[in-house]
Structure 1
């Protein structure tokens, strides 16, 4: 997924790794940062544990920043949580007059065949909507504060 943002690359990069902004974008899930880095900017080797309600179920997910190259790339990877695996790449490119923010999100649902069925029926669409919602707020915040 790509998002065109009329703001400097450094600003977009920092907004995307802001714990505080993440909490704002996921407010509708009741998400809280409960361990690790719980506010400010997260960086390489740091972890955050999130607690949120999805599909009516309270879930906990811990992710670690496994790559960070300011201001062009960072990736977070699930260390513990509801997925079998999950990795999210955040890539930033400075273009003429704007920043292109690209999300590459890879995950594998748990529970084998049942998880693949859930993914097909609703999980993939749900995850896509979460990322789209989050990116729209990052874009709005970046463009209104530059």
Structure 2
């Protein structure tokens, strides 16, 4: 399986505490996810993120087809970073690190996603034709949504 990497950095005009409070709450995920993804949390325990937390969703990443997606929050370091990993879903592997760092320019948020697709050569072709650009769209939407929420842009 070929692994791909997606990185993004964004500065947020908020305190580290404000930023962490927002991003460590699974209920806020829908606010920063494009409507075109059909993103819907179907089950979680209502608590802020903690290691071992399971979150279940429905997503429509391509062609409006609803798919189940289950992630586990595997690591949480308060006000520093957390990691979510797919347990079931559209990817063969999904490992997403979220880093938060207070700086003079605001909170620096860094996302690092490693992902792999099923289906070998077909999966690699799908990444080139659709998946990579779809992830870029999702992260661009997220940047815009975060700017509207925190940066008044």
The answer to whether TM tops 0.5 is yes
Q: Which runs of 5+ in 1 are unaligned?
A: none
Aligned to 2:99: 91
TM-superposition CA deviations, 1:107-141 (whole Å, max 9, x none): 00111110010001120111122122123323432
Instruction: Provide the rounded CA distance (Å) in 1 between the counterparts of 2:80 and 2:147.
Output: 16
1:77 to 78, 85, 90: 85
RMSD between superposed Cα atoms in Å: 1.7
Matches within 5 A, 1:1-146: 1-26=8-33, 28=35, 29-37=37-45, 39=46, 41-55=48-62, 56-143=64-151
* Structure 2 length-normalised TM: 0.85
Contact 1:50 1:62 in 2 (8 A): yes
Q: Which runs of 5+ in 2 are unaligned?
A: 1-7
Instruction: Provide the rounded CA distance (Å) in 2 between the counterparts of 1:111 and 1:44.
Output: 30
Instruction: Provide the rounded CA distance (Å) in 2 between the counterparts of 1:113 and 1:141.
Output: 40
Instruction: Provide the rounded CA distance (Å) in 1 between the counterparts of 2:89 and 2:65.
Output: 13
CA 1:102–1:7 in structure 2 vs 1: closer, same or farther (change >3 Å)?
same
SS in 2 for 1:2: strand
CA 1:41–1:132 in structure 2 vs 1: closer, same or farther (change >3 Å)?
farther
**1:26 positional shift:** 2.6
Instruction: Provide the rounded CA distance (Å) in 1 between the counterparts of 2:80 and 2:144.
Output: 19
SS in 1 for 2:66: strand
